[in-house]
A and B are shown apart, each in its own frame.
Chain A
Amino acid sequence: MIKTFKRGGVHPPENKISQKAALERIVPEGIIRIFISQHIGAPAECIVNKGDKVKVGQLIAKANGFVSANVHSSVSGTVLGIENVADYQGIKKTAICIQVEGDEWEESIDRSPEINRDLSKTSEEILAKITEAGLVGLGGATFPTHVKLAVPKGKTVKAIIINGAECEPYLTSDHRVMLEKGEELLIGVQLLKKAVNVNKAYIGIETNKQDAIDKLTKLSVNYNGIEIVSLKPKYPQGGEKQLIKSITGLEVPDRALPVETGCIVANICTTFAVYEAVQKNKPLFENSITITGKNLKVQKNFIVRVGTPLSKLIEAIGGIPENTGKIISGGPMMGRAISNMDAPTLKGSGAVLFITGDEAKRGIKSNCIRCSKCVAACPMGLQPFLLYRLAELNMLEELKENSVHACIECGCCLYTCPANLPLVDYIRLGKTRAMKLVVKPK
């Protein structure tokens, strides 16, 4: 039976036009800039100095505390310095700049193409490798993986859920990884299972990726306790809470972590990175990025070293097409527009999406007619029209009373709104204000 979640959600046109493009590598050259904070939590502490020689996979910034992640060099070369570099949104952050010289890897990394099927490592060893490799959730939130796998005392985990929903329109990098790295992926799942001592794992995949479902189902025969679950395409199925609901039917309680339901969710790319980190000793310094858009001549799925300038990727697809209205990092629903095309890529960058001029424009804003389409579309059961108004009036106490913290900023409300109200813009602002996360510049 094809499963899905019941409450809310929308199904925008899928536009998965890049799903036929095989993964390609981009050769790093020039100057690479690697942010020391590419995850949720404390920024890592830089441990290299200007003039140091570094190799591919060498630790260059050390995790600062538990909720933090190591950062490794993605290239070999000389450290040019530690500078403030503007990110996709033009906001300046500390980054380590490295001049690329050759491609010399750390000797500990296993570069052989053979698949390492050895599953003898203990739970502690696996967790230590994951921590060491600086793994973060590659589904978008970039939460350090070792923190996610550290089960709080008194809680039991019953199953691992692998998120292969890729419910955002246009995105295809997870799809390509499932097709091309199927076996590695399943070994990664086994490692994750072992790390938290469970016997059951589900891989949830939407039926618009039937080839991936078929392939993984065939491969999973050789591995115990992995079940491939077909999901009905619906956005935001890839949301942690929605995916748990779709697969197990359990609801994550308000203000609780998903582990409350006995499930831990990991993304496809994260699982593949777990395989590489544990079996191949390879830290997280490259990730897959989809480059897509209706107006592009070529659709690409690249494997890119962290810190490669975006302009380099754009060069590889032959420049920005003329009728581009907006360039987005991520998918069209949750992604954020890019204002700085020279920004370096991050661990969590999943896609660069080109939207044509006409499609990029928002509709003309009019008044709320209380049609409650947004309420029907909200997968968290909130009242977006109300939260929007409260956020606009800066009524923080009322926002808290109306559970603004539960908003996952998926954008379903904005997608359905016939009045084109900037619902998510204000709700996101109200949420950060109500939760006192807004930091004013000094």
Chain B
Amino acid sequence: MDSTILTTVIMLGVLAATLAVVLYIVALKFKVAEDERIGETENILPGANCGGCGYTGCRAFAEALVKADDISAMFCPVGGNTTMTKVAEYLGKKVEKKESEIAVVRCAGSCKNRPRVNEFDGAVSCAVMAATYSGDTDCSYGCLGKGDCVAVCNFGAIYINGETMLPEVDEDKCTTCGACVKACPKLIIELRKKGPKSRRIYVSCVNKDKGAIARKACKTACIGCAACRKACAFESILIENFLAYIEPDKCRLCRKCVEVCPTGSIIELNFPPRKPKIEVQEQKKDNINSDITTN
């Protein structure tokens, strides 16, 4: 009995040692020389593997960064400017600073604003619903609320608000990887400039119907009345197909458009509460000045 165990141990031991030597030799002989910088660059990257950079993962992005001569067009949305500066320093290449962005849901058609006219009984998926019909409200452009954007987000940064049944973005968690933008069959989600102190203004509607039809379907629809364009001093508002769009590069965050919008489809975020009318003027001037300086 004892001798059986002993023989087994010796035989397996010898076998293991021989194979180890063989493997060692093979490993030496067929060693693939890999650029060390790829591994190092990958360590600098956040390791989210979200694909927001346009590559299949952090490893692929690191390879591309090492290979490319000019990396100014490449950007890691999760790590942002800090990560990209570090990468550039390590690789000795140049990057441009990019303004931080955030995902914005351009639909304010909550259950209150946009009454449901039928009930969808199929698979719980915006993609299936969009392929089936125009949606459970009279607005054929708005959010379907089945949460395809929530399902694809790797960071838990988007969730459906139980009261409005619309997706909302958690500013602290959103990395602007763009997964939700791609998943939305109605193209409602947009990556926009985060803005100074996270202050931003956008049109929260994508309805391209004529004003009367849009308004009938949803109380907060953009009706294309152009009041905002008239009020805007910086020509930052475009109106096409009865739908306004605020160009983030031109907008100076004066909030005049928000005041004049008859349906309340223009939304301002993270601004301090407005003060009584007379003081508002001064306050706004201050805002503009401070914004310019921070820019």
Name A's B-contacting residues (CB within 8 A).
Answer: 86, 89-92, 326, 336-337, 339-340, 360-362, 422, 425-426, 428-429, 432, 438, 440-441
A-B contact pairs, 10 of them (CB 8 A): A86-B134, A90-B133, A90-B135, A91-B140, A337-B121, A339-B118, A422-B122, A425-B125, A428-B128, A438-B131
Q: Chain A: which residue is nearest B184 at the CB level?
A: A440
A441 and B132 form a contact (CB under 8 A): no
**Is B186 located at the chain interface by the 8 A CB criterion?**
yes
Provide the residues of chain B in CB contact with A426, threshold 8 Å.
Answer: 123, 125, 128
B131 and A432 form a contact (CB under 8 A): yes
Q: Chain B: which residue is nearest A326 at the CB level?
A: B121
B123 and A89 form a contact (CB under 8 A): no
A438–B134 Cα gap in the complex (Å)?
Answer: 15
Number of interface residues of B (CB under 8 A): 19
Beyond A86-B140, A91-B134, A336-B133, 12 additional pairs, beta carbon < 8 A = A89-B134, A90-B140, A91-B140, A92-B134, A92-B140, A337-B121, A339-B133, A360-B121, A425-B128, A429-B125, A429-B127, A441-B186
CB distance from B226 to the nearest CB of A (A): 21
Q: Chain A: which residue is nearest B134 at the CB level?
A: A90
Q: Chain B: which residue is nearest A337 at the CB level?
A: B133
A361 and B134 form a contact (CB under 8 A): no
Provide the residues of chain B in CB contact with A432, threshold 8 Å.
Answer: 131
Provide the residues of chain B in CB contact with A86, threshold 8 Å.
Answer: 134, 140
Tell which of A337, A360, A440 touches B185, judged by Cβ atoms closer than 8 Å.
Answer: A440
A360–B120 Cα gap in the complex (Å)?
Answer: 11
CB distance from B125 to the nearest CB of A (A): 8
**Is B187 located at the chain interface by the 8 A CB criterion?**
yes
Interface string of B151-184 (1 = CB under 8 A from A): 0000000000000000000000000000000000
Provide the residues of chain B in CB contact with A326, threshold 8 Å.
Answer: 121
B132 and A336 form a contact (CB under 8 A): yes
B132 and A422 form a contact (CB under 8 A): no
Provide the residues of chain B in CB contact with A428, threshold 8 Å.
Answer: 128, 131
A361–B140 Cα gap in the complex (Å)?
Answer: 24
Q: Chain B: which residue is nearest A428 at the CB level?
A: B131
Provide the residues of chain B in CB contact with A360, threshold 8 Å.
Answer: 121
B133 and A91 form a contact (CB under 8 A): yes
CB distance from A287 to the nearest CB of B (A): 22
CB distance from B51 to the nearest CB of A (A): 13
A425–B187 Cα gap in the complex (Å)?
Answer: 21
Q: Chain A: which residue is nearest B137 at the CB level?
A: A90
- The winner among B122, B123, B140 for most chain A CB atoms within 10 A is B123
Provide the residues of chain A in CB contact with B122, threshold 8 Å.
Answer: 362, 422, 425
CB distance from B197 to the nearest CB of A (A): 34
A425 and B134 form a contact (CB under 8 A): no
Interface string of B257-278 (1 = CB under 8 A from A): 0000000000000000000000
CB distance from A338 to the nearest CB of B (A): 9
A169–B209 Cα gap in the complex (Å)?
Answer: 38
A441–B185 Cα gap in the complex (Å)?
Answer: 8
Name B's A-contacting residues (CB within 8 A).
Answer: 117-118, 121-123, 125, 127-128, 131-136, 140-141, 185-187
Q: Chain A: which residue is nearest B129 at the CB level?
A: A425
Provide the residues of chain B in CB contact with A429, threshold 8 Å.
Answer: 125, 127-128, 131
Q: A339-B118, A441-B187 are contacts. A422–B123 as well, Cβ < 8 Å?
A: yes
A432–B141 Cα gap in the complex (Å)?
Answer: 21
Provide the residues of chain B in CB contact with A438, threshold 8 Å.
Answer: 131
A377–B133 Cα gap in the complex (Å)?
Answer: 27
Q: Chain A: which residue is nearest B206 at the CB level?
A: A441
Provide the residues of chain B in CB contact with A440, threshold 8 Å.
Answer: 185, 187
Provide the residues of chain A in CB contact with B132, threshold 8 Å.
Answer: 89, 336-337, 425
CB distance from B130 to the nearest CB of A (A): 9
A425–B140 Cα gap in the complex (Å)?
Answer: 20
A86–B141 Cα gap in the complex (Å)?
Answer: 13
Provide the residues of chain B in CB contact with A441, threshold 8 Å.
Answer: 141, 186-187
Provide the residues of chain A in CB contact with B117, threshold 8 Å.
Answer: 339
CB distance from A411 to the nearest CB of B (A): 12
A362–B125 Cα gap in the complex (Å)?
Answer: 15
Q: A86-B134, A441-B186 are contacts. A361–B118 as well, Cβ < 8 Å?
A: no
Tell which of A89, A361, A422 touches B128, judged by Cβ atoms closer than 8 Å.
Answer: A422
A339 and B134 form a contact (CB under 8 A): yes
CB distance from B128 to the nearest CB of A (A): 5
A361–B121 Cα gap in the complex (Å)?
Answer: 7
Q: Chain A: which residue is nearest B139 at the CB level?
A: A90
Q: Which 9 A-B pairs have the closest CB atoms?
A: A90-B134, A422-B123, A89-B133, A425-B123, A425-B128, A425-B122, A339-B118, A91-B134, A339-B133
A326–B121 Cα gap in the complex (Å)?
Answer: 10
A426–B129 Cα gap in the complex (Å)?
Answer: 10
Q: Chain A: which residue is nearest B121 at the CB level?
A: A362
A86–B139 Cα gap in the complex (Å)?
Answer: 11
Provide the residues of chain B in CB contact with A336, threshold 8 Å.
Answer: 132-133
CB distance from B273 to the nearest CB of A (A): 37
A91–B132 Cα gap in the complex (Å)?
Answer: 10
Provide the residues of chain A in CB contact with B140, threshold 8 Å.
Answer: 86, 90-92
CB distance from B216 to the nearest CB of A (A): 13
CB distance from A373 to the nearest CB of B (A): 19
CB distance from B43 to the nearest CB of A (A): 30
Provide the residues of chain A in CB contact with B123, threshold 8 Å.
Answer: 422, 425-426
Q: Chain B: which residue is nearest A90 at the CB level?
A: B134
A214–B125 Cα gap in the complex (Å)?
Answer: 48
CB distance from A139 to the nearest CB of B (A): 21
Provide the residues of chain A in CB contact with B135, threshold 8 Å.
Answer: 90
Provide the residues of chain A in CB contact with B141, threshold 8 Å.
Answer: 441
Provide the residues of chain A in CB contact with B125, threshold 8 Å.
Answer: 425-426, 429
Q: Chain B: which residue is nearest A340 at the CB level?
A: B134
CB distance from A11 to the nearest CB of B (A): 24
A429–B185 Cα gap in the complex (Å)?
Answer: 12
A200–B275 Cα gap in the complex (Å)?
Answer: 87
Q: Chain B: which residue is nearest A437 at the CB level?
A: B131
CB distance from A266 to the nearest CB of B (A): 29
Provide the residues of chain A in CB contact with B136, threshold 8 Å.
Answer: 339
A440–B187 Cα gap in the complex (Å)?
Answer: 8
A2–B187 Cα gap in the complex (Å)?
Answer: 53
CB distance from B283 to the nearest CB of A (A): 40
Q: Chain A: which residue is nearest B118 at the CB level?
A: A339
A403–B27 Cα gap in the complex (Å)?
Answer: 42
Q: Chain A: which residue is nearest B128 at the CB level?
A: A425
CB distance from B14 to the nearest CB of A (A): 46
